[in-house]
Amino acid sequence: MTLLAGLAIATALWSGVQALNAQARNSYDAATAAISGGGGRMLLAARGGLFEQDLFVKLRRAGVEVSPVLEGASRIGDKNIRIVGVEPVSLPRRSPIAHMRKRADILDDFLTGEGRAFASPQTLRRLDLAEGAQPQTERGRRLPPLTALAEAPPGAIVVDIGVAQRLLDRPGKLSRLILADDAALDEARLKRVAGDALRLVAADDDSELARLTDSFHLNLTAFGFLAFLVGLFIVHAAYGLAFEQRLPTLRTLRALGVAAPNLVAAMACEIAAFTFVAGGAGLIGGYAIAQALLPNVARSLESLYGAQISESLTLDARWGLSGLVMAGAGAVLAAASGFAKTMRLPPLSVARPIAWRAAHHRYLRRQAAFATIALVAAICAYDFGKGLASGFAVIGFSLLAAALFLPVALAGFLALSENLAHRPLARWFFADGRQEISGLSLALMALLVALAANIGVGGMVEGFRQTFTRWLDARLVAEVYFEAATPADARDIEAWARGQPDISAILPVWRAKTRIDGWPIEIVGMTAHETYSAHFPLIEATPDVWTALHAQDAVLVSEQLARRLGVGLGSALDIPTSRRDWRARVVGIFPDYGNPKGQLRVDHEELKRYFDDASGVHYGLRVSPDATARFIDNMQRRFDGAIARILDQSELKSMSTEIFERTFAVTAALNTLTLIVSGVALFASLLTLSDMRQARIAPVWALGATRRELAALEMIRVVAFAAGAAILATPLGLFMTWCLVAIVNVAAFGWRLPFQMFPTQWLMVFLIALCAAILAALIPVARLARAAPTELLKVFSNER
């Protein structure tokens, strides 16, 4: 029973996380494939960003079959959407939305009159819009009537290319060209027709989302695996106990002449059956977990990366199979020692009383040996490199080492206490506790791992939260942020704002996009102002950073970008601009937490000069704080349609904080699940052990201790064990925090957080451990306390 439950829980946690990952990846693929049909090739602006429609015309004239696409972000109400402009007539056949060509009625509507906007039914539901609705975007542009189209990519609205250019305010611009399958185009020909403005890429290479979100998914996978490991501890413990219980039967069977391989074969069949039952149950559980966590994951992926994840789980056979394989592997791993023991079981073995002391010492030596091996592995992994994988390996191996070492530490502590104790019951308590360690050790190890993970991850998240909040305060200094609908609107508002007495500064925060080494990079302009020079947080900077930034060819580089490109202060950076590369000197490195894209900060004037397609609509305003609310009101009334979005500082902060919280909600949920699982493991082990405990307790009871005293001692013992695990978990958790902060985060996200400690959190985890232990022990101990004398007496009549 425990075995099944353990295996099912382990599989559920693992497959749940896998389901989330698969779902997200499918959605990314769907997003690109929905337009281009997956596979194939396409053309992108060589310097990143958008390119001129002329290039498309040139290529068509040269006889190259290409289909234009313009994509861009927009908002309807407070929901983010992606506007995708296509030209249905030239879309390659492989594109899923190409089939609308066959429906002449739709096609006509799409191309003529006010046009049509296609969205998947799910997107319509999310936007809370019915077919035929014509919502306005944040730029005040009205969409063509919406039509449901199942093939439309999640979170996107597909419109005609011309409509998209108008909606996105990008007249005459394109973001990519999809090549027909049979289009004869090679680099040389492309160069002849389009110069070096475009580059040819395979569609699969470009799943930008897949690239950006890689680390997010790796994190999820790592936690899923951790949870699976904890589950495996249960399976192993349960199988070990079950095996011990049936050892006499096995002995008898062997004595009756059944060959060991036959026994193993029978046990293997049984394990296979277990795998199917538990694996099946685990898959259902995994589905439930994924279903429960999906909205959170989807929202955090959306707010972090702008990725739209379909919220109805669609899973394929591969997922189910991988879950079953994991379950099977777990079962085999757990049962392996049992199989080995069965093979070695002599046909005639005298039923000797179990020599626990010898076994205990053997066991402790083995644990210590394995712990040492795991420790060495951890050290090797640390030396090996600073990558994500080695970071997780260091964490994994050190958790394992500590877990394996736990029984040794507990045994040592108990031996010491036994020597110090005088009262007979106390001595027995400690001596007997040592005997119980091996039975409970797997559950305790699972608890230790879960507690350490909670302290480790909790510390990292809390440290991040504090750093993030402080950073946000320094970063968001302007009182009001607004986004104009168009650059022209922006100039109107700017002109008006100049005459306003409440405004002390107008800070354009224009943005442009480029790519360096294939990574998407955002370039943000800054004007010379105290807002930045006095507040903008920098990790490292040359002494004259602010004057240099505005007076010379200089940039500030975000921490993660600097790390990725391997640049430091004083390095020169070649930035692809609209025309030529701009060589600028790095004068400062700033933290940019939570931003998956690289960011460069440059002087506002330089941005305007080098990037034709700079957005020109984002602004920050310094307004005297008490006038802010009135000012926003005023501005909204005056420029209604010209303002895409206006936010005051606190709104923007709470939005950012919310994104942050959501990102870690999943981690927290998995962490809690892991803890619950380890609690269940402890409970299951205690329950299985309680028969054995009765046999241990009966002699002491017979010699004159009350059941209540003994039950209390049982409870104290379990609680003491849990406390021991919690105490060991604290330094281990700290080490894990350090690994996460110094290795994993740096490798995954490119930023390094200061290492902080949170003793109150340790106390919480300690208390949680005690509560978990008390809860887990409650039923077994109550059973003991109420055991009928007849029950206890059985121990004396039964052969043990």
Contact positions vs other proteins (CB under 8 A): 353-358, 423-425, 427-428, 431-432, 434-435, 698-709, 789-790, 792-793, 795-797, 799-800
Give the residue with the Cβ less far from other proteins, 39 or 424: 424
Backbone phi and psi for residue 679, each to the nearest 5 degrees, phi listed first: -60, -45
Contacted by 299, from ligand ATP, other proteins, none: CB < 5 to 8 Å by type: none
* Sequence-distant (≥ 6) Cβ neighbours of residue 151 within 8 angstroms: 34, 96, 97, 99, 120
CA-based torsion, 413, 416, 421, 424: positive or negative: positive
Distance CA 434, CA 301 (A): 48
Give the residue with the Cβ less far from other proteins, 641 or 789: 789
Q: What's the closest the beta carbon of residue 414 comes to other proteins, in angstroms?
A: 10
Q: What's the closest the beta carbon of residue 799 comes to other proteins, in angstroms?
A: 8
Contacted by 796, from ligand ATP, other proteins, none: CB < 5 to 8 Å by type: other proteins
Pair 118, 157: CB distance under 8 Å:
yes
Segment 341-349 long-range contacts (CB within 8 Å, at least 24 positions apart): 341/243, 342/250, 342/260, 342/263, 342/264, 342/267, 343/260, 343/261, 343/264, 344/260, 345/250, 345/251, 345/254, 345/260, 345/263, 346/254, 347/254, 347/255, 347/257, 348/254, 348/255, 349/251, 349/254, 349/255
The number of residues that bind ligand ATP (CB under 6 A) is 3
Give the residue with the Cβ less far from other proteins, 89 or 354: 354
Q: What's the closest the beta carbon of residue 791 comes to ligand ATP, in angstroms?
A: 8
Give the residue with the Cβ less far from ligand ATP, 356 or 796: 796
Q: What's the closest the beta carbon of residue 423 comes to other proteins, in angstroms?
A: 8
Contacted by 703, from ligand ATP, other proteins, none: CB < 5 to 8 Å by type: other proteins
Contacted by 637, from ligand ATP, other proteins, none: CB < 5 to 8 Å by type: none
Distance CA 437, CA 415 (A): 12
Backbone phi and psi for residue 465, each to the nearest 5 degrees, phi listed first: -60, -45
Distance CA 458, CA 446 (A): 18
Give the residue with the Cβ less far from other proteins, 232 or 698: 698
Give the residue with the Cβ less far from other proteins, 292 or 793: 793
81 bridge partner residues: 74
DSSP codes joined into one string, 567-612: --TT-EEEEE-SSSEEEEEEEEEE--TT--SEEEEEEHHHHHHH-T
Give the residue with the Cβ less far from other proteins, 208 or 432: 432
Give the residue with the Cβ less far from ligand ATP, 496 or 796: 796
Interface of this chain with ligand ATP, residues 761 to 800, rule: CB under 6 A: 790, 794, 797
Contacted by 789, from other proteins, ligand ATP, none: CB < 5 to 8 Å by type: other proteins
Contacted by 101, from ligand ATP, other proteins, none: CB < 5 to 8 Å by type: none
The alpha carbons of the chain give a radius of gyration, in whole angstroms, of: 32
CA-based torsion, 495, 501, 505, 507: positive or negative: negative
Closest residue to bound ligand ATP by CB: 790
Distance CA 555, CA 603 (A): 8
Q: What's the closest the beta carbon of residue 425 comes to ligand ATP, in angstroms?
A: 27
Contacted by 358, from ligand ATP, other proteins, none: CB < 5 to 8 Å by type: other proteins
201 bridge partner residues: 42
Give the residue with the Cβ less far from ligand ATP, 295 or 789: 789
Contacted by 757, from other proteins, ligand ATP, none: CB < 5 to 8 Å by type: none
Contacted by 277, from ligand ATP, other proteins, none: CB < 5 to 8 Å by type: none
Token pair listed for 461 = 């998240």
Q: What's the closest the beta carbon of residue 216 comes to other proteins, in angstroms?
A: 51
Question: Could you list the residues that contact ligand ATP (CB under 6 A)?
Answer: 790, 794, 797
